[in-house]
Amino acid sequence: MRHADLLTLAQWLSPSFPVGGFAWSHGLESAIAANEVRGPDDLFAWLDGVLRHGSGRVDAVLLCAAMAPGADAVALHAEAEARAAGSERWAETLAQGGAFARTVSALGGEAVPELAMPVAVGVAARRLDLPPGLVAAQYLQAFAGNLVLASVRLIPLGQTDGQAVVARLSRVCEAVAQEAAVSRLEDVGGAAVLSDLAAMDHETKDVRLFRS
């Protein structure tokens, strides 16, 4: 592991990297509007479910698969769309993956194609001397951190309470990422049905701060 590579990854996944993550709530906005997520414990449980049994695990597996030498990134991108819970979830990963790829490509080195976010990050991370499980763990933590930020605006939730949720989730991110690194995509299934319903419901909501 090279320290410089770890810094590059931290830069890519930091909230200041211009992928527009602040615009998306992954369906949390509807779950909060429906009173299903009211405080830090609910938020932890919602994110825990999404990470372990929903899009978090799928994204981690896609990312690890995309890091493999010779991986077919276009096929993984199609798989990401096939597994998307709804149109806004797909728009969310497509917009962020596109912005991520454009920014990384502009910074030099081999160009990264505009693909679904976890696939784009996985392709870019091939140049880093870092194990896929570590990249995926960081990716999941960044994903959870972004959704906690969204919740701080919506619930309302204190900044410290939000960070406590992120801290509690670090073990979940690590465990899911380690499993993802050794999982075959065709064996990965989910059960985060209510989070998927929340993301689909969001499309028809009148008042929306977020694009998903």
Q: Which residues bind other proteins (CB under 8 A)?
A: 31, 36-37, 42, 45-50, 52-54, 75, 78-79, 81-83, 85-88, 90, 186-197, 200-201, 203-204
| Minimum CB–partner distance for residue 178 and other proteins (Å) | 16
| Minimum CB–partner distance for residue 125 and other proteins (Å) | 23
Q: Please, which residue, 63 or 135, has the CB nearer to other proteins?
A: 63
Between CA 210 and CA 162 the distance in angstroms is: 18
| Minimum CB–partner distance for residue 128 and other proteins (Å) | 28
Between CA 61 and CA 185 the distance in angstroms is: 6
| Minimum CB–partner distance for residue 34 and other proteins (Å) | 9
Six-digit token pair at 124? 């870019």
Q: Can the peptide bond before residue 40 be classed as cis, meaning omega within 30 degrees of 0?
A: no
Q: Please, which residue, 65 or 83, has the CB nearer to other proteins?
A: 83
**CA distances (Å), 68 to each of 120, 128, 138, 203, in order?**
13, 12, 17, 35
Nearest to 9 by CA among 115, 104, 76: 104
Between CA 18 and CA 128 the distance in angstroms is: 20
Q: Please, which residue, 70 or 186, has the CB nearer to other proteins?
A: 186
Q: Please, which residue, 58 or 128, has the CB nearer to other proteins?
A: 58
